[in-house]
Amino acid sequence: MKIQSLDTYVVGNPPPHFGGQYFVFVRLTTDDGIEGFGEVYTATFSPSVVEAMIKDVFEHHLIDADPFHIEKLWRRVYGRGYTLRPDVSLMSVLSGLETACWDIVGKAVNKPVYELLGGKVHDRLRSYTYIYPREGEDDSVYRDPDLAAERALEYIDMGFTALKFDPAGPYSVYDGRQPSLSELDRSERFVKTLRSAVGKRADLLFGTHGQFTASGAIRLAKRLESSDPLWFEEPMPPDNPKEMARVARQTSIPIATGERLTTKYEFARVLEHEAASILQMALGRVGGLLEGKKIASMAETYHALIAPHLYCGPIEGAANAQLATCTPNFLILESIECWGGFHSDILRKPMTWEDGYVIPSTEPGIGAELNIQVAKAHPYKGTKLHLGMAEDPVLPE
């Protein structure tokens, strides 16, 4: 079996754009007609540039390659151009192509990928969602703790037992910074209001997008501890795990990090410094499924847990579910609400979500296939980056 062709699809995500304004999907096809799907999660270049990078990696390393030889593929791409170090854009491209190879391999042997990475451990996967605005409403839910509490109760009624929110305010390319008094007050009000509303019915997941210095994050954590969040996510920028470990040592709240990290090498530094006890690899960026499994195994030796991150499309979501299913130290899976709307429409068969849990697919491969007709009907022609930050310093309120 040899890989013969590549197709890329930059798909516009219609309003309300939960998961991003667009998704970048890939399809590999072998000489015997097996299709494999993956998703590239890179935010550092415009999507047309990302497409060109995907094509370049494919032409150098994947055409006529055996999709079973994933370790060889990984090393050749990781070291291309005299690199051999974590490169977030290159690893994002590799992640999507590697996932597509696993999809092919699973289909070739008629097994879900989780059965090839150690076998099923979990029959269902606990999931959480951001607290998003109601359909047709503005984004006040991100700033108004009372409205957020109302939405939280609606999500609990749907079946969720964990909810994420990040009320600290804007984040910028100049972070980390010291939180202002108003940011501290707003964050504390959010957590206390939500805890009062949900009681013991749901865990609260507090995020900051790496906004603060270690000392600022410690000040904020002291405000949050009485409400017992399940985690304090990326309390400071992810580039200095030794500093993040200062935060971990001075709060009872578990520290979670990893959405901006890539490869086992960066996650190893987090574990070695004891900077976090919950690792949030994004499989469309981290280096792929096998790399995610290696990171999970490293985490297991530190008694750390994994909670795969997701802010993109459902192909990465399906890959996350494959990893979670075969990982003993899995904690919780990020969902975009309950995988309805466009996240359902873009797949030939939607992911299964029941009462707060993702049910692992028994289909061969990653368990999700792109609906090509829908993808072609929603092309994204813009030049925006997938995510962004304020380009000027955030002034105190």
Q: Report residue 383 as tokens.
A: 């030049």
What's the pLDDT at 243? 98
Residue 393 lies inside a defined structural domain of this protein: no
Whether the CB-CB separation of 169 and 154 falls below 8 Å is answered with no
Q: Which domain holds residue 243?
A: 115-365
- pLDDT tens digits along 11-46: 999 999 999 999 999 999 999 999 999 999 999 999
Distance CA 190, CA 243 (A): 26
Last residue of a domain, one of 110, 137, 167: 110
Picking from 159, 89, 122, 162, the residue whose alpha carbon sits closest to that of residue 322 is 122
Last residue of a domain, one of 110, 126, 144: 110
What CATH number does residue 104 fall under? 3.30.390.10
259 and 135, same domain (yes or no) = yes
pLDDT above 90 for 364: yes
120 and 105, same domain (yes or no) = no
Distance CA 244, CA 221 (A): 13
Q: How many CB atoms lie within 10 A of CB 102?
A: 24
Length of the chain measured in residues = 397
Residue 391 lies inside a defined structural domain of this protein: no
What's the pLDDT at 396? 87
Residue 388 lies inside a defined structural domain of this protein: no
What's the pLDDT at 301? 98
Distance CA 150, CA 131 (A): 10
Report the number of secondary-structure helices (H) and strands (E) in the chain.
Answer: 13, 13
Residues of the chain with pLDDT > 90, as a percent, come to 97
Query: Please, which residues have CB within 8 angstroms of residue 111's CB and are 6 or more apart in sequence?
Result: 364
Band (pLDDT 50/70/90 cuts) for residue 397 is confident
76 and 131, same domain (yes or no) = no
Query: Please, which residues have CB within 8 angstroms of residue 266's CB and are 6 or more apart in sequence?
Result: 86
Distance CA 188, CA 25 (A): 39
159 and 72, same domain (yes or no) = no
Over residues 288-293, mean pLDDT = 98
What CATH number does residue 193 fall under? 3.20.20.120
Last residue of a domain, one of 68, 88, 110: 110
Residue 316 lies inside a defined structural domain of this protein: yes
- pLDDT tens digits along 228-260: 999 999 999 999 999 999 999 999 999 999 999
221 and 327, same domain (yes or no) = yes
DSSP state of 99: H
Over residues 86-103, mean pLDDT = 98
Residue 182 lies inside a defined structural domain of this protein: yes
Whether the CB-CB separation of 312 and 339 falls below 8 Å is answered with no
- pLDDT tens digits along 134-190: 999 999 999 999 999 999 999 999 999 999 999 999 999 999 999 999 999 999 999
Q: Report residue 160 as tokens.
A: 């969720």
Residue 386 lies inside a defined structural domain of this protein: no
* 3-class state of residue 362 by DSSP: coil
91 and 125, same domain (yes or no) = no
Residue 373 lies inside a defined structural domain of this protein: no
Residue 372 lies inside a defined structural domain of this protein: no
Query: In the predicted model, what is the mean pLDDT of the chain?
Result: 97
98 and 122, same domain (yes or no) = no
What's the pLDDT at 151? 98
